[in-house]
């Protein structure tokens, strides 16, 4: 038995640019299994056609089938044929434990990103519970049937990963620098200097006038050299887009 699978667009990033596959899938295999065997998790698949007709992931492949597999795009496809719907609203993320640097960048830009969960199953349940998108380089995690939203980072360079996410999820309009805690992802709220006199060093009180507190962990933030470095990074980064 031989089937053909043609991948389109960004799906080919996951197969080193190869887009046409012809192989013997074995008996009683679903198209989901066959696509994932190529290294493309189902979360990256928008819709599939087989010999010109729409099919879903449960389709058992047969000899001679020719499948076309598409990533998220603007083609006019009826909702009932869409396998991984577009994410609606402001995107939220759960990042796997290997993405610490990317998480810092995302939080710096004010993008909600949960981090610190080690176990894959707990990452998946957190993402489902909070309707968040899983960010990972571990394709196997995204192959779990229950995963709804997930993205495989193509690069292993944090700054490039950040660009990938910004373009993939159209995040420019959601960027709000310095509104989120770098430690815990909590939202920062402005506080008056008078409210925190006992909580920060005197030299800081004498130097800065604007402060914010994390609404979750209570950490206090102010300007300073670290803030300046991050501001420079953000300016350069946004200019480079
Ligand atoms: Zn915090």
**Which contacts qualify for 149-157: CB closer than 8 Å, 24 or more apart?**
149/43, 149/84, 149/87, 150/41, 150/43, 150/44, 151/43, 151/44, 152/14, 152/41, 152/44, 153/99, 153/102, 154/13, 154/14
The DSSP line for 136-201 is: ES-HHHHTSTT--SEEE-S-SSHHHHHHHHHHHTT-GGG--TT-B-TTT-PBEEEE-GGGGTTTS-
Packing angle, helices 100-108 and 158-168, rounded to 10: 50
Rounded Cα–Cα distance for residues 219 and 187 (Å):
11
- pLDDT category at 58 given cuts 50, 70, 90 is very high
Instruction: Give the pLDDT confidence score for residue 221 in this predicted structure.
Output: 93
CA of 231 to the centre of ligand 1 (A): 19
Q: Which structural domain range is residue 8 located in?
A: 3-81
Mean pLDDT of 158-183: 95
Mean pLDDT of 89-110: 97
Q: Has residue 83 got a pLDDT over 90? A: yes
CA of 114 to the centre of ligand 1 (A): 11
CA of 220 to the centre of ligand 1 (A): 9
Widest distance between CA atoms in the chain? 76
Q: Is residue 124 part of a domain?
A: yes
CA of 24 to the centre of ligand 1 (A): 52
CA of 191 to the centre of ligand 1 (A): 14
- pLDDT digits 0-9 by tens, 3-57: 999 999 999 999 999 999 999 999 999 999 999 999 999 999 999 999 989 999 9
Instruction: Give the pLDDT confidence score for residue 226 in this predicted structure.
Output: 76
How many structural domains does the chain have? 3
Which residues make Cβ contacts (< 8 Å) with residue 210, sequence separation at least 6?
A: 190, 222, 223
| CATH (domain of 133) | 3.40.50
Query: Where does a domain end: 131, 152, 174?
Result: 174
CA of 13 to the centre of ligand 1 (A): 36
Mean pLDDT of 172-178: 93
- pLDDT digits 0-9 by tens, 127-156: 999 999 999 999 999 999 999 999 999 999
**Residue 187 burial (CB < 10 Å; 0-12/13-18/19+)?**
middle
Query: Where does a domain end: 149, 174, 199?
Result: 174
Nearest to 224 by CA among 239, 205, 199: 205
CA of 160 to the centre of ligand 1 (A): 26
Q: Based on the domain organization, do 115 and 76 belong to the same domain?
A: no
Mean pLDDT of 98-122: 97
Q: Is residue 68 part of a domain?
A: yes
- What mean pLDDT, rounded, does the chain reach? 95
Query: Where does a domain end: 174, 208, 226?
Result: 174
Q: Based on the domain organization, do 194 and 161 belong to the same domain?
A: no
Instruction: Give the pLDDT confidence score for residue 10 in this predicted structure.
Output: 95
Q: Is residue 87 part of a domain?
A: no
> Among 77-81, 87-91, 204-208, whose mean pLDDT is lowest?
204-208
- pLDDT digits 0-9 by tens, 206-235: 999 999 999 999 999 998 767 888 889 889
CA of 206 to the centre of ligand 1 (A): 24
How much of the chain, in percent, has pLDDT values that exceed 70? 100
Mean pLDDT of 161-172: 95
The answer to whether the complex's ipTM is over 0.95 is: yes
Nearest to 69 by CA among 39, 40, 42, 49: 49
Instruction: Give the pLDDT confidence score for residue 106 in this predicted structure.
Output: 97
């Amino acid at each position: 038995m031989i089937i053909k699978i043609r991948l389109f667009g960004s799906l080919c990033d996951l197969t080193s640019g190869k887009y046409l596959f012809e192989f013997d899938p074995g008996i009683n295999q679903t198209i989901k299994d066959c696509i994932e065997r190529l290294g493309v998790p189902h979360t990256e698949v928008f819709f599939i056609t087989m010999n010109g007709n729409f099919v879903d992931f449960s389709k058992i492949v047969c000899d001679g089938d020719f499948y076309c597999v598409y990533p998220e795009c603007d083609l006019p496809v009826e909702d009932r044929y869409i396998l991984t719907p577009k994410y609606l609203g402001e995107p939220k993320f759960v990042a796997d434990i290997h993405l610490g640097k990317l998480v810092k960048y995302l939080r710096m830009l004010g993008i909600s990103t949960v981090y610190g969960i080690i176990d894959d199953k707990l990452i998946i349940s957190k993402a489902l519970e909070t309707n968040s998108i899983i960010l990972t380089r571990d394709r196997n995690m995204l192959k779990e049937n229950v995963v709804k939203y997930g993205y495989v980072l193509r690069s292993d360079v944090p700054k490039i990963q950040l660009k990938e996410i910004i373009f993939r999820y159209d995040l420019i309009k959601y960027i709000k620098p310095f509104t989120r805690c770098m430690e815990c992802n909590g939202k920062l709220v402005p506080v008056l200097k008078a409210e925190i006199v006992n909580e920060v060093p005197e030299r800081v009180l004498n130097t800065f006038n604007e402060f914010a507190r994390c609404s979750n962990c209570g950490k206090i933030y102010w300007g300073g050299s670290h803030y300046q470095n991050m501001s420079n990074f953000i300016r350069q980064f946004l200019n480079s887009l």
